[in-house]
Amino acid sequence: MRFLIRILLLLMLGLAYFPASGFSAEFLRPALRIGFTDTEGSIWQDKRLLYQGTAYEFIEALSTYLNRRTAYTSGTMEENLLRLKSGSIDMIILPDGPMTNRSTEPIPVNLPAGTISVPLGESLGWLLLDENRAEMAPQIFAAVKTIAEVNPFFRHDLLEKYHSTGLKLKLTPEEQAYLTTHPVIRTMISPRQAPYAYLENGEPRGVIADVIKRVEADLNIKLEVIPEESQQTMMEHLTNGDIDMVMDFYTDYNWAKAHNADLTFPYLTLNYVSVMRKDRPLPAAPVVACARTHFYTHQFIERMFPAEQLRYYVDVADCMAAVNRGEADITFVKSITAQSDIFRGNYYNLYTNGNVMFSHQVSMAIRDTADPILIRILNKEVTHINPLDITSIINHEVYQVQAQDTLQSFIYRNPFLTLGFAVGILLLIIIGLLIFLRLRHNYTQELWQQANLVNSVGMYNIHWFTNELPNAIAYYNEARKKGELFVLIISAQRMAFLKEVYGSKLFAESVKASMQTVTRKLPWILRYGLSAEITHVYMLCRKPTGLTLWQAAEQVEKNARTVVINGIPTSFTYYIGLCPVPRQEDIDASLLMDNAMMARNEIIGTNQTIGIFNSVMHDELLHHQQIELYMEKGLAEGEFQIHLQAKYDLATREICGAEALIR
């Protein structure tokens, strides 16, 4: 038992020892206590109590190489020097300032007594250590050197990050006088490269045009842009001294000397991307379209590809067109103009993958015969322009060009949105057409109902029956040939009295119910139509087998005799007229209906209820028609004469009127 207790105690001691020694040494780095004074650009604490500045970020990177964690203390230089002497801090940050080179390393002019300095790098300042505790100085020197070897641009990146607002523009009296005596400077810009630089109605547009406006506003001068349509002729004007400057020139002094020009500091960096065809893969040895007079062609493309693969053209637009036509496989253009070149040129078979192939800077090129003071002035202007302003100008112009894209380019850039929009428009058109057709159908239906129905009962009227009769007779042509078809008209006696007694609406509903009952019981009634006044009904019937026309009419009369009105069975008496449908002759629906009506009229006033149109009636009809014809002819020829027969008032024995007689 004692043995087990001893083993447990040893394990507990081991666990207590290892975290305190091994783990702490590996993960808990000793503190590097640093004193500082708030200095804009170098090191300061913002409103959120977060540290900012070039020296701060450099020291944070430095601490990882020193295997230290940092702890900062703010105070004045005097307070920090007292802390350094007392040992409460290890070092002090001294911002960049005047220095002397009394030794191998630059030393600040205002080096406090009793301290030594370790330079962090140009424009970053120094670290001050107590001369009695300088054992860390070699480590700091070595760490600074290591950072410079690993990333030579780290210091430059920090300076650009915290000093990106541009320097204050300060011109000497001599420079001011030069601008006063030279208020206009003749310049040119690269053409046909929207949105980078291009001309619109002779006026400069794009990124370079916006930079020109900025320079004009800062220097209070006029940069007169002389229009030129090709890069080649622009370079010739500069070489010959015809203009004072080119606003956008490749930053290469050899290229500048070749065109008799001097350069300002660069103010813009351009990235170049490749443009290729969509319809075929890039071959192993692609044909490259090059802009002959552009610097990047000689500086980059001619070094990247052998001469036999190069095809030269006047400018970038021609290169794009050559790739689109298939004369070349690839070309290189500015990244900010690539999409614009594709969209505005309608080169929808071209694309760019966005990978940067090479870059170069842009400066202003001044003819070498110009006064050198102009170069110095423009250099001050370049350093004065905020780099963020240049970025804003580029973004603004890119969006401006996209806003002016054609419909084709919009469709190319937004295929799914365009498809959705087109589908939406199509749906709206379809819905509109459906609504229109529905309204048209309803309107046509309403017109048709007004023309073909008796609205009060919803039954077909005489107009519909007249139009439908020829079609129905043609449909039942076999029955017609057998002499089985006939037209029937039925009307109730004392119709006006019945409508007045029961009311028009109730009477109409009763007639409708009666007709539905009759046509259900007598299926050989093929078609029927009701008059608008609900006084009579025309029917097309097929004579039942074994019945005569008279017997068929009696069947109709029998089934229609009793009509239920307002729940009360009411007996009706009818007049019925029939007209057989001829077996062979042409059909005149109106004539058949008139014949049936004549048969009905013939029996009114007699003790008969059924009349059948026959040859006698036909002759009478012809006679009446002949009389009507003679009357119309007599009226037309003035054969009628009017004779007046006087009327006497017996009381007064005077003529009080006359009767007109026509002979």
Output the domain CATH number for residue 43: 3.40.190.10
Residue 198 and residue 309 share a domain: yes
pLDDT higher than threshold 50 for residue 73: yes
Instruction: Provide the pLDDT for residue 219.
Output: 94
Closest-CA residue to 333 (of 237, 192, 203): 192
Residue 373 and residue 279 share a domain: yes
- Could you tell me the pLDDT band of residue 463, with boundaries at 50, 70 and 90? very high
Instruction: Provide the pLDDT for residue 101.
Output: 62
Residue 502 and residue 469 share a domain: yes
CATH code, domain with 489: 3.30.70.270
Q: How many CA atoms, within 13 angstroms, populate the side-chain half-sphere of residue 523? A: 1
- 2-14 pLDDT, tens digit per residue, is 656 666 666 666 5
Judge whether 448 lies within some domain. no
Name the token pair of 136.
Answer: 């860390």
Residue 465 and residue 580 share a domain: yes
Residue 388 and residue 332 share a domain: yes
Among 348, 373, 407, identify where a domain stops. 407
Instruction: Provide the pLDDT for residue 406.
Output: 64
Judge whether 535 lies within some domain. yes
Judge whether 4 lies within some domain. no
The answer to whether the beta carbons of residues 80 and 87 sit under 8 Å apart is no
pLDDT higher than threshold 70 for residue 181: yes
pLDDT higher than threshold 80 for residue 545: yes
Q: Tell me phi and psi for residue 121, to 5 degrees.
A: 135, 160
Judge whether 497 lies within some domain. yes
Residue 484 and residue 567 share a domain: yes
Residue 389 and residue 489 share a domain: no
| DSSP SS3 for 139 | helix
- 338-394 pLDDT, tens digit per residue, is 887 887 777 888 989 889 999 999 999 999 999 999 999 999 999 888 888 888 888
Residue 638 and residue 575 share a domain: no
Among 162, 185, 205, identify where a domain stops. 162
User: What pTM value is reported for the model?
Assistant: 0.53
pLDDT higher than threshold 50 for residue 85: yes
For residue 635, the enclosing domain spans 626-663
The answer to whether the beta carbons of residues 344 and 194 sit under 8 Å apart is yes
Residue 241 and residue 109 share a domain: no
| Residue 171 identity | L
Which letter does DSSP use for residue 307 in this model? G
How far is residue 155's CA from residue 166's CA, in Å, rounded to a whole number?
Answer: 18
Bridge partners of 358, per DSSP, are 272
Which letter does DSSP use for residue 641 in this model? -
How far is residue 72's CA from residue 38's CA, in Å, rounded to a whole number?
Answer: 11
Q: Tell me phi and psi for residue 91, to 5 degrees.
A: -160, 170
How far is residue 594's CA from residue 658's CA, in Å, rounded to a whole number?
Answer: 38
How far is residue 312's CA from residue 293's CA, in Å, rounded to a whole number?
Answer: 9
The answer to whether the beta carbons of residues 425 and 417 sit under 8 Å apart is no
Judge whether 1 lies within some domain. no
Rounded mean pLDDT of 117-131?
90
Q: Tell me phi and psi for residue 309, to 5 degrees.
A: -95, 0
Among 371, 392, 407, identify where a domain stops. 407
How far is residue 131's CA from residue 138's CA, in Å, rounded to a whole number?
Answer: 13
Rounded mean pLDDT of 282-289?
94
Judge whether 608 lies within some domain. yes
- 28-59 pLDDT, tens digit per residue, is 789 999 999 999 888 999 888 899 999 999 99
Judge whether 418 lies within some domain. no
Instruction: Provide the pLDDT for residue 498.
Output: 72
Judge whether 337 lies within some domain. yes
Element at 360 (helix H, strand E): strand 356-367
Residue 497 and residue 402 share a domain: no
Residue 585 and residue 603 share a domain: yes
The answer to whether the beta carbons of residues 313 and 323 sit under 8 Å apart is no
The total domain count for the chain is 4
How far is residue 262's CA from residue 642's CA, in Å, rounded to a whole number?
Answer: 123
Q: 301-315, 354-368, 472-486, 557-571 — which is least confidently predicted?
A: 557-571
Helix axes 504-521 and 549-560, enclosed angle (nearest 10): 130
| Residue 521 identity | K
Instruction: Provide the pLDDT for residue 25.
Output: 42
Residue 137 and residue 30 share a domain: yes
Which residues fall within 8 angstroms of residue 296, CB to CB, at 6 or more apart? 250, 272, 332, 358, 360
Instruction: Provide the pLDDT for residue 192.
Output: 84
Helix axes 462-475 and 589-603, enclosed angle (nearest 10): 110
How far is residue 238's CA from residue 476's CA, in Å, rounded to a whole number?
Answer: 100
